[in-house]
Structure 1
């Protein structure tokens, strides 16, 4: 079977749009994870226990979890250009306030604001990608943007550690806050909600984007068909919960684990954390490209996403298992690095599924999907903090392994169907076995 040539990204306006989104994803993750590197110093300075620190981290995830759907739907309504510019400025303000925190409650308040503003970011960015990225590059687009997010993860410990050494933990939040505001201004200048409105758009590139990306085919004001959308996305939401639970372990507790278990100082645990998280940069891109390659060779889209999800979740589970036993720093580092690589094979595919299933409502669909990650972010840091205080690190790692196993089962059996608009009617699945319902405009 001859492989289809994927749609080009170089020398296209969409390539610049994707680059801007990569920068945003990196900044967003630096803003949300810089606290993990600073946490040991924040705890000492403000007198926090591990349980209190868990509440601080979970404060971000609370609004992030429950406003994903709302944020994605609003972003689809008012457009990614305006929505992303606004929320980037606001999460920069939230990061700034984190640096000015004086106690537990002010820290929680700043993190709540950060979660509130970032809740709309990735679903709205997914809506932008649905309009700007050819369908055959959905996995690649989600993979490369989330690779940028993981690069932000990997750089954050080194950047934050350097700033802490030079000027204290508060300075790290003040510096990265400025990056968000600068990006917002550039985004407003570069991006347009409809590709056809961009001054540098060509007729050739517009034709490459397909019918959903043209002014006549966008249908921005069509009401979101929740009745049809929820049954297709809900199983993906559960898989995203299992994935997200373990991801939050890496993003939140990795520096503390390395510091507590192996007695590493800030330079040591920052370096090891960065090495481990760099594996996610590779994993995200590889996961998206592999599933796109299966599709390009004539494979079924749903099967392609599902296979990579099962491989990723299964590999992460196996590689976490050595941490249930006493291990040297070298063994633990290798196990964590491989586990994070496999885990991040899943990320692009989880985000590509809403684009595959409901490209017209991908903001709302991806918000529903990523609610699983958000809920995991509420529960995981608190549960980890409590379990660490009570019994050490074995129990929380064991719980993560169990949730990964449950996610593997659901991922293998889920079959999300396409949701699309045909002649003013929402159609679910193929033409022969579709369910329909008219949606008001």
Structure 2
């Protein structure tokens, strides 16, 4: 059946819209425990150390299943991987309502990490499958906006449910939301099947694969040997670790150092995360516009990535600025830069890797970022206890500076290809040698 470009584009954006909602729910489910931890700690008689064990249970399995989920997405495709992961993490989140102590809480957190870790490789594969290169960063940016939208929604929503119905009801309600997303996802792909004859047509993805030369179908091991991939992996991992600082430590910093109370936190601290959303969409739009104008993939992406990393590095100055609102403004600039950077660096990973390994390689980069972010948390806590927040903010600035160096060290942004063997000399030349 012939499909018009308008119809294909409409279906692609519907797919990404549902993936965006999945990203929002993914973060909401992840963040419920942090919002409710004081109440849970009192009822289950847990210490702060116990809470740390529960967080580590989540992060460890999240990291592992970022890679496993990538392999699953490569084998099953976005449609089935999305369905499996969202059902799995929704059930895991529901089970938190039945926690009776540390062991059960850690077990349920580990299950949640398994489900959530497998989601983003499937989502990124979906963006790569449905969008050509000039629009792919916009799709990835929308997925990343789901994180900060989830960060905006979780505290008021979860607090309201807990106040009126108890903390266990918060897990039941937020877990149930995931099941509401599965029917429209399956209905959309039923419509896709009616149009294309298959539920996994992957229009843009298939076009790229058809145009690929046989020698470009590299093995996974061959890609893992390339400096380009490892430079971009470490660049993303460093920026992910810095982002985790802004997510988990910035609210406490503004309360402990800048004098914000909870009312001020609710009134003002949404601004940096809103700025991050604007950065994600703006960075994606600019790089896509440059590609459409013929600037080329490498120059278009780097024209956004380089200034974005520079803006994000300004986050290191937040601690040293006078007045809480000037610090808040600088944090907003830094988070704008970070998600502008992230919307493009995530896309670049999909653009340099062979299509058949896209999800698993994206999963490895995500696992590296999660590992570095998790490892940095106790170091941040120790440095805050001993020397305040200054070293942590300086570390944020250094992380983005190193990420920028690694980006430049990766060389040209282009698909990783097999290095051709040296050409065989002409027989006359061989005899002369």
The TM-score bracket by the shorter chain reads: 0.7 to 0.9
Contact 1:316 1:343 (C-alpha < 8 Å) held by counterparts: yes
User: Aligned partners of 1:393 and 1:41: how far apart in 2?
Assistant: 27
Tell me, yes or no, if the aligned pair for 1:302 and 1:415 is still in contact at 8 Å. Answer: no
Q: Of 115, 118, 133, which aligns to 1:117?
A: 115
Map residues 152-301 of structure 1 onto 2, 5 A cutoff. Answer: 152-191=150-189, 198-201=193-196, 209=204, 211-212=206-207, 224-231=219-226, 232-262=228-258, 264-301=260-297
Q: 1:52 to 1:226 in 2, by over 3 A?
A: same
Following superposition, the deviation at residue 330 of structure 1 comes to 1.6
Name 2:326's counterpart in structure 1.
331
Gaps of 5+ in 2: 423-433
CA distance in 2, matches of 1:83, 1:235: 28
Conservation of the 8 A alpha-carbon contact between 2:54 and 2:109: yes
- Superposition pairs of residues 19-418 of structure 1, within 5 angstroms: 19-43=17-41, 53-191=51-189, 198-201=193-196, 209=204, 211-212=206-207, 224-231=219-226, 232-262=228-258, 264-324=260-320, 327-358=322-353, 359-415=355-411, 418=414
Give the direction of change, closer, same or farther, for the CA distance of 1:322–1:169 in structure 2 (3 Å limit).
Answer: same
Tell me how far apart the structure 2 counterparts of residues 58 and 312 of structure 1 sit (CA, whole Å): 31
| More helix by percentage | 2
Partner Cα separation in structure 2 for residue 51 and residue 249 of structure 1: 19
Which gives a bigger RCO, structure 1 or 2 (Cα 8 Å, sep 6+)?
A: 1
Larger Rg: 2
When normalised by structure 1's length, the TM-score is 0.82
Q: Please, what TM-score do these two structures have when normalized by structure 2?
A: 0.83
Report Cα offsets for 1:337-394 as digits up to 9, x if no partner.
Answer: 2211111111111221122123343212211222232112321333233333444322
d(CA) in 2 for partners of 1:405, 1:15: 34
Unaligned runs of 5+ in 1: 1-6, 421-426, 437-441
Indicate how the Cα distance of structure 1 residues 324 and 190 shifts in structure 2: closer, same or farther if over 3 A, else same.
Answer: same
For this pair of structures, how many residues does the alignment match?
411
Whether the 8 Å CA contact 2:88–2:115 is kept in 1: the answer is yes
Cα distance, 1:321 vs. partner? 0.9
The Cα shift of 1:103 comes to 4.1
